[in-house]
Structure 1
Amino acid sequence: MTDANQRDAGDGLAYPCGTPPERGEAREIAPGVRWMRLPLPSDSLTHINVWAIEEHDGHTLIDTGLGNEDTIETWRTLLAGPLAKGITRVIVTHLHPDHVGMAGWLTRRSGRRLWMTRTEYLQCRVLAGDTGHAPPDEAIAFYRRAGWDDATLESYRNRFGTFGRLLSRLPASYRRIRDGERIAIGAHEWEVIIGAGHTPEHACLYCASLKLFVSGDQVLPRISSNVSVLPGEPDADPLAEWIASLDALSRRVPDDVLVLPAHNQPFTGLHARLARLAASQQHALDRLHATLREQPRRAVDTFGALFSRAITSEDASTYGLATGESLAHLNYLVNRGKATVKEDDDGIAWYRAA
């Protein structure tokens, strides 16, 4: 049970919305704005928050949950109950399956459109197209370069192409949303604010009149967003994009908003959270740089400098996320002249402090 005024000591955040809604409940947390939770099959993240904004002829939905039968059953309960008025449109913040997974099912059922940024929609279509295929040689070389051994690579081969199985078929067209666009939803105007780093073109929504900010995965209160380099763009610098996004959000969104994140609970104290995330990131980069001073390291050798718990290849999903995040930090240092990288004769990359 969460106290309605719970505050985490020392972090400047408060959680004024009380206990989360039960499955099938749509809790009103601001005029016409309802908070719902959908289940996730994970021990670390058991739910995703999704939002409904009431209009005269239905509800705008923001994010949709993972594409599976458990989520479908929850949506059926919501659409037969608190959301029986119907759906006017489906807005998705970004391409990850827990956000876009049910977008196709909901848009086909309602006859309404999917609203999404262009990069997120198109990249989602590309990743879904990998379903059932073997991983490309470039992906195997990418993870071998990072230091994966043969057993871990074989596990990756066996798991590759599962992205599309986590979502219902996307609609073949969508309505593009852009940074700075203002969307009338019900009685209020919402501004699209684009972030990057976690994904390439992540959409957040800010309503000045209601003092609400839908942050998706761009700002979370209790965990940090994964920022990874992926095989399709091995030279990417997503950490620089994410740090720039934190700074932009602190300038574009005032501190007096109620933040509606994709995970954990709605909170106040946006600017304190942004500052804490930025400081934590700098500390991680400093630790990594110090580690690279000791001796050359592969990406998989840097986990101890970046993560508070042990990362092993037995947990394949976490190992992959940790590899991508380590590469994001290493690319950041290399691109700023603070580290160098050299491949050995086996194609494995070794990093050292410049």
Structure 2
Amino acid sequence: MREVPPVEDLGEGLWSIPVPVPHNPIGFTYVYSLSAPGGPVLIDTGWDHDDSWSALVDGLARAGHRVDQVQGAVITHFHADHSGLSGRLREASDAWIAMHPRDIAVLERQAGRDQEERATAMVTQMTRAGFPTEDIDAFRASPTVFRSPATPDLALQDGERVDVPGPDLRAVWTPGHTPGHLCLHLADRELLFTGDHVLPRITPHVGQFPLDAPEGDPLGDFLSSQSRIGRLPDAERLLCLPSHEERFTGLPERARAITDHHEERLARMAELLGPGPTTLWELTSGLEWRRPWEDMRILARHMAASETAAHLRTLEERGLVRRGGSMELPRWATTT
């Protein structure tokens, strides 16, 4: 577990509030509080847990605000470590919650499915990916809880200004990590809140859901978003405030490094596939990961498979890989 850093005054009414994610190696998520007429605006809210809520409330107090004074929160993306406390915040302050419409649509679909339906869908995906029976049984036996954050009130489109007096905070749509991921650009202060799109040391997860989806290209979207964010007019001067790790500069160079990492991964996958045909599980289990495959928990293996699936989808879009097999068990091979 990473040590949670202190609340920090970043000047001119901007505060960094680390909100813990208990019992998770991610450690914490930075929530940013930006002062504005009518009350502070938050960027993200943090994980849904009593300890996380206490950290958010205490952090706001350090910044000179009560939680019931918060007028709204812009959520960079729907993942629970960013959006989990949205409903609790809305109940405590009547704050509006804004998110890109593509991620709002994801939450609306999730809200219509109960725990059992979502678990069944995961099992179906894993079966079609070629996961062995023991992995599927381990998933069924695991105490998996799907958290569904509150559905936002407001849709925030690409380029749209957050509708509060004072700061000129604008949305920059950066799909990939999620379909509606947003960065937030505060141009007059040369600040960019990068969410999970650009992190200073690690590369964010980019996955394909469902694992065997024949449409969409999340990694292709992500790489295009990296190129776009690196071309912002003031990109070289921007101070980047990510949701994890630490603040950084040199956005164009970091965006290129992330892109290079994925291009190397794509080349490695094409090399391993060869003439195939190969199931998603066979390819995923043969790749190198931060942890050895045999030491990975079942949910981590599922995430690894979703990341591999996203890379395969991009290779398909580039005409380098073809999909064959059956609907029940797709297989992939190179086209040459």
Is the TM-score greater than 0.5? yes
With over 3 angstroms needed to count, the CA separation of the structure-2 counterparts of 1:328 and 1:137, relative to structure 1, is same
Equivalent positions of 1:1-354 (< 5 A) are 21-22=5-6, 25=7, 27-42=8-23, 44-85=25-66, 86-135=69-118, 139-158=122-141, 162-164=145-147, 167=149, 170=150, 174-183=153-162, 185=164, 187-231=166-210, 234-235=213-214, 236-252=216-232, 254-293=235-274, 295-303=276-284, 304-305=286-287, 307-312=289-294, 315-343=297-325, 347-354=328-335
1:272 deviates by 0.8
TM-score for the superposition, normalised by structure 1: 0.85
Q: Secondary structure at the match of 1:302?
A: helix
CA–CA distance in structure 2, aligned partners of residues 233 and 349 of structure 1: 7
Which stretch shows the higher mean deviation, 255-264 or 298-307? 298-307
With over 3 angstroms needed to count, the CA separation of the structure-2 counterparts of 1:310 and 1:294, relative to structure 1, is farther
CA–CA distance in structure 2, aligned partners of residues 239 and 79 of structure 1: 36
With over 3 angstroms needed to count, the CA separation of the structure-2 counterparts of 1:312 and 1:121, relative to structure 1, is farther
Q: Secondary structure at the match of 1:52?
A: strand
Structure with the bigger RCO (C-alpha within 8 Å, sep 6+) is: 1
Q: Deviation digits for residues 89-147 of structure 1, max 9, x if unmatched?
A: 11111110001100010111111211111121231232244343234765433221212
CA–CA distance in structure 2, aligned partners of residues 135 and 56 of structure 1: 42
Q: Which residue matches 1:14?
A: none
CA–CA distance in structure 1, aligned partners of residues 106 and 295 of structure 2: 27
With over 3 angstroms needed to count, the CA separation of the structure-2 counterparts of 1:315 and 1:139, relative to structure 1, is closer
With over 3 angstroms needed to count, the CA separation of the structure-2 counterparts of 1:31 and 1:135, relative to structure 1, is closer
Is the 8 Å Cα contact of residues 128 and 328 (structure 2) preserved in structure 1? yes
Q: Secondary structure at the match of 2:72?
A: strand
With over 3 angstroms needed to count, the CA separation of the structure-2 counterparts of 1:43 and 1:160, relative to structure 1, is closer
Q: Deviation digits for residues 306-330 of structure 1, max 9, x if unmatched?
A: 5343224850221111010000111
With over 3 angstroms needed to count, the CA separation of the structure-2 counterparts of 1:267 and 1:289, relative to structure 1, is same
1:73 deviates by 1.8
Q: Which residue matches 1:10?
A: none
CA–CA distance in structure 2, aligned partners of residues 271 and 68 of structure 1: 36
CA–CA distance in structure 1, aligned partners of residues 217 and 242 of structure 2: 24
Q: Secondary structure at the match of 2:230?
A: helix
CA–CA distance in structure 2, aligned partners of residues 151 and 233 of structure 1: 20
Q: Secondary structure at the match of 1:94?
A: coil
With over 3 angstroms needed to count, the CA separation of the structure-2 counterparts of 1:233 and 1:105, relative to structure 1, is farther
1:349 deviates by 2.3
In structure 2, the gaps of 5 or more residues are none
1:149 deviates by 1.6
With over 3 angstroms needed to count, the CA separation of the structure-2 counterparts of 1:297 and 1:309, relative to structure 1, is farther
Which stretch shows the higher mean deviation, 59-68 or 125-134? 125-134
Equivalent AA in structure 1 for residue 134 of structure 2: A
Equivalent AA in structure 2 for residue 156 of structure 1: F
Is the 8 Å Cα contact of residues 193 and 206 (structure 1) preserved in structure 2? yes
State how many pairs are aligned.
328
1:333 deviates by 1.1
